[in-house]
Chain A
Amino acid sequence: MTKNCDLPLHGITVVVDTPGERLYIGRYHSENEEGILLQDADVRDLEPGTTKAEYLARSAKYGVFKNCDRVKVPHSEVRSVRRLIEYAESES
């Protein structure tokens, strides 16, 4: 049985993108048949006028604006899972 700490993304801050306007940003803990468990997460329904790219670039620069201790993201909502740092914009 795989332990949580052996999962490649365990402990890493990730972005779970969804088909809709919601983003989940948080520390990947584990995953099972129900979904992906994130800790210290920002569950964000974007306001009109804010794009996902803008919000993710801001989060990659400043950090995670936590509004939820733990959240399980159902697999049906998952479009992609990427590390938050991948959204950082080059400052040069």
Chain B
Amino acid sequence: MKYPEELVKPIREEVVRMGFAEARTPQDVQREIGADSRTVLVFVNSVCGCSAGIARPGLAKALAQGARPDKLLTTFAGVDTDATDYVRSLFPQYPPSSPQAALFKDGKVVAVIQRHQIEGSTADRVAALFNTVFDQHCAAVR
């Protein structure tokens, strides 16, 4: 059963305000993740508390400083199910989790942050986790 749109709308809007483009279909994902030199962060959003209280605030902090991906893309677990399934099919060695974030470079996944790395943590610690990944793979913003 999918979550009702009125529940997810403000959650979608929160990440769109951070600069994420929404991918609601597999085709949306395919269009944005190509074999070029760009880095693309895909955030698998969710309605759970650790997404609201830790992952999204942590991501917002991480994106506000230092290196960051060239593109930001989001799907919504339990809502945009085809798009989310397609994204996850690109890194099958990682089991599904919500929330979840994957960084792609040249069309290949180079890092995945899973729910168990987020839950029970803090927004600051998760921001540091994202910043470490961005510093390793993304160019600094000039």
Residues of A with Cβ closer than 8 Å to B?
Answer: 11-13, 60, 62-66, 83-85, 88
Task: Chain B residues near A88: list those with CB within 8 A.
Answer: 117
Q: Across the interface, name the chain B residue whose C-beta is closest to A87.
A: B116
Contact status A11-B50, CB under 8 Å: yes
Q: Is B95 an interface residue (CB 8 A)?
A: yes
**A–B pairs, 14, beta carbons within 8 Å:** A11-B49, A11-B120, A12-B120, A13-B119, A62-B93, A63-B94, A63-B95, A63-B114, A63-B116, A64-B95, A65-B95, A85-B117, A85-B120, A88-B117
Contact status B116-A60, CB under 8 Å: yes
Task: Chain A residues near B89: list those with CB within 8 A.
Answer: none
Task: Chain A residues near B71: list those with CB within 8 A.
Answer: none
Contact status A62-B117, CB under 8 Å: no
Contact status B97-A63, CB under 8 Å: yes
Contact status A12-B95, CB under 8 Å: no
A13, A63, A84, A85 — most chain B CB neighbours (10 Å): A63
Number of A-B residue pairs at CB separation under 8 A:
35
Query: How many Å from the CB of B120 to the closest CB on chain A?
Result: 5
Counting from the closest, the 4 A-B pairs by CB-CB distance are A13-B116, A63-B114, A63-B95, A12-B120
Q: Bound complex: CA of A88 vs CA of B96, how far in Å?
A: 18
Q: Bound complex: CA of A84 vs CA of B97, how far in Å?
A: 14
Residues of B with Cβ closer than 8 Å to A?
Answer: 49-50, 93-97, 112, 114-117, 119-120
Q: Across the interface, name the chain B residue whose C-beta is closest to A88.
A: B117
Contact status B115-A63, CB under 8 Å: yes
Q: Bound complex: CA of A60 vs CA of B115, how far in Å?
A: 11
Q: Bound complex: CA of A60 vs CA of B116, how far in Å?
A: 8
Query: How many Å from the CB of B136 to the closest CB on chain A?
Result: 10
Task: Chain A residues near B112: list those with CB within 8 A.
Answer: 62
Besides A62-B95, A62-B114, A63-B94, 11 more A-B contacts (Cβ < 8 Å) are A12-B116, A12-B120, A13-B115, A62-B93, A62-B112, A63-B97, A63-B114, A63-B116, A64-B95, A83-B116, A85-B116
Task: Chain B residues near A62: list those with CB within 8 A.
Answer: 93-95, 112, 114
Q: Bound complex: CA of A88 vs CA of B114, how far in Å?
A: 12
Q: Across the interface, name the chain B residue whose C-beta is closest to A11.
A: B119
Q: Bound complex: CA of A65 vs CA of B92, how far in Å?
A: 11
